C-alpha cells in the first residue's frame, strides 16, 4: 500500500505515527546542541585513519581522512537525524542498539531523546569510535556504550545479554546477506513493541532485495518505507500491511 500522505493510511497506528512523529517538523530545543556539534564537525581539520569493515571497505580502508570530510559524507542529514530522535522519543525503548556509530551524531540524537535508555552502538573503526566518544563527552551524554569491531562478532554478543530488544537502528555494512543476518539475529529477541529501522534500503540492488525479504517475513506485521529508511514492526494486533510514505 502506498500513501503519499497520512490521509492515505487506513491503520490508526500508522496514521498517528505519521501525523505525530514522522511529519512533526517543529523546532525543538533539544536539536540545538546536536546541530552545533554537526557544524563543528563539518569544520574539523583533524585527520584520522579509517578502518572500514563494511561495504566500501576496498575504497576507504586504512585511508587518512579529515573529520570534516567524513562528516560531510557520512553524517545523517539533519531531517533524518531528527526523525530518528522523534521515533526513539515516541517508542521510549529501555534498550537501543545502533549498528554504525560513525562520529556519533545520530547516537547523540538517540541519547538526548531517551536519556534513561541503555544505548549500545557498534563501530568497526577504532579512531572513528574514539572521535564519537569525545563528541558525547562534549555533550555530557553518559548512557552510551560503544562496541568496537566487526558487527558479525559484536551483534550476537550484545543480543545475548538482552532478554529482549526494543529499538534497533541498522546502519552499516549495506550488503544483502549481512542485512538479512542482522535481521535474523534480532528476531528471537523481538516483542510486540520492538522497532527495527533499516537505513539505506534503496542503496543497492542487494539492499532492495533484503528489504523485500524483510517485509515479507511472516513475523513482520507492519512496515513503513520512507525511502531513506525502512521501519519494521511486530505488532500482533495489526493486520499485515506495508506502507510507503513520502518523507
* Residue 219, in any domain of the structure: yes
- Cβ(220)–Cβ(234) below 8 Å: yes
Query: Does residue 53 carry a pLDDT above 50?
Result: yes
Local structure of 164: helix, strand or coil: coil
* Residue 47, in any domain of the structure: no
* Residue 63, in any domain of the structure: no
**pLDDT band at 57, cuts 50/70/90?**
very low
* Residue 56, in any domain of the structure: no
Based on its alpha-carbon atoms, the radius of gyration of the chain, rounded to whole angstroms, reads: 17
List Cα–Cα distances, 4 to 9, 78, 225, 244, in angstroms: 9, 22, 11, 7
Local structure of 169: helix, strand or coil: strand
Phi-psi region of 200 (alpha: psi -120 to 50; beta: other; left: phi over 0): left
Q: pLDDT tens, 85-142?
A: 999 999 999 999 999 999 999 999 999 999 999 999 999 889 999 999 999 999 999 9
Q: pLDDT tens, 139-183?
A: 999 999 999 998 999 999 999 999 999 999 999 778 899 999 999
* Residue 240, in any domain of the structure: yes
Closest CA to 226 of 190, 191, 206, 197: 197
- Cβ(98)–Cβ(110) below 8 Å: yes
The dihedrals phi and psi of 230, each to the nearest 5 degrees, come to -120, 130
Domain containing 231 equals 2-40+76-245
- The Cα 12–Cα 17 span in angstroms is 8
- Rounded to two decimals, the pTM is 0.91
Q: Residue 84 is part of a domain; what is its CATH number?
A: 3.40.50.150
**pLDDT band at 206, cuts 50/70/90?**
very high
* Residue 66, in any domain of the structure: no
Cell numbers that stand for 109 in this block? 540524537
- Cβ(192)–Cβ(236) below 8 Å: yes
* Residue 46, in any domain of the structure: no
* Residue 49, in any domain of the structure: no
Cell numbers that stand for 71 in this block? 562528516
Structural domain count, the chain? 1
Amino acid at each position: 500500500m502506498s500513501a503519499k500522505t497520512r490521509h492515505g493510511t487506513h491503520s490508526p497506528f500508522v496514521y498517528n505515527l505519521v501525523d505525530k512523529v514522522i511529519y512533526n517538523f517543529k523546532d525543538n530545543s533539544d536539536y540545538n546542541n546536536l546541530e552545533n556539534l554537526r557544524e563543528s564537525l563539518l569544520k574539523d581539520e583533524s585527520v584520522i585513519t579509517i578502518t572500514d569493515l563494511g561495504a566500501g571497505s576496498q575504497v576507504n580502508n586504512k585511508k587518512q581522512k579529515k573529520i570534516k570530510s567524513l562528516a560531510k559524507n557520512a553524517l545523517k542529514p539533519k531531517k533524518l537525524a531528527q526523525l530518528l530522535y522523534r521515533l526513539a522519543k515516541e517508542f521510549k525503548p529501555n534498550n537501543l542498539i545502533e549498528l554504525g556509530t560513525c562520529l556519533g551524531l545520530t547516537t547523540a540524537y538517540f541519547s538526548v531523546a531517551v536519556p534513561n535508555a541503555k544505548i549500545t552502538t557498534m563501530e568497526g573503526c577504532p579512531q572513528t569510535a574514539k572521535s564519537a566518544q569525545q563528541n558525547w563527552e562534549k555533550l555530557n551524554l553518559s548512557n552510551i556504550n560503544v562496541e568496537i569491531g566487526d558487527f558479525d562478532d559484536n551483534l550476537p554478543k550484545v543480543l545475548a545479554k538482552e532478554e529482549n530488544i526494543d529499538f534497533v537502528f541498522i546502519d552499516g555494512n549495506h550488503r544483502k546477506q549481512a542485512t538479512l543476518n542482522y535481521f535474523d539475529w534480532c528476531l528471537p529477541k523481538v516483542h510486540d513493541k520492538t522497532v527495527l529501522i533499516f537505513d539505506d534500503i534503496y542503496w543497492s540492488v542487494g539492499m532492495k532485495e533484503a528489504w523485500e525479504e524483510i517485509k515479507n517475513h511472516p513475523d513482520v506485521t507492519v512496515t513503513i518505507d520512507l525511502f531513506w529508511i525502512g521501519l519494521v514492526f511486530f505488532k500482533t494486533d495489526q493486520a499485515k500491511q506495508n506502507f510507503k510514505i513520502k518523507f
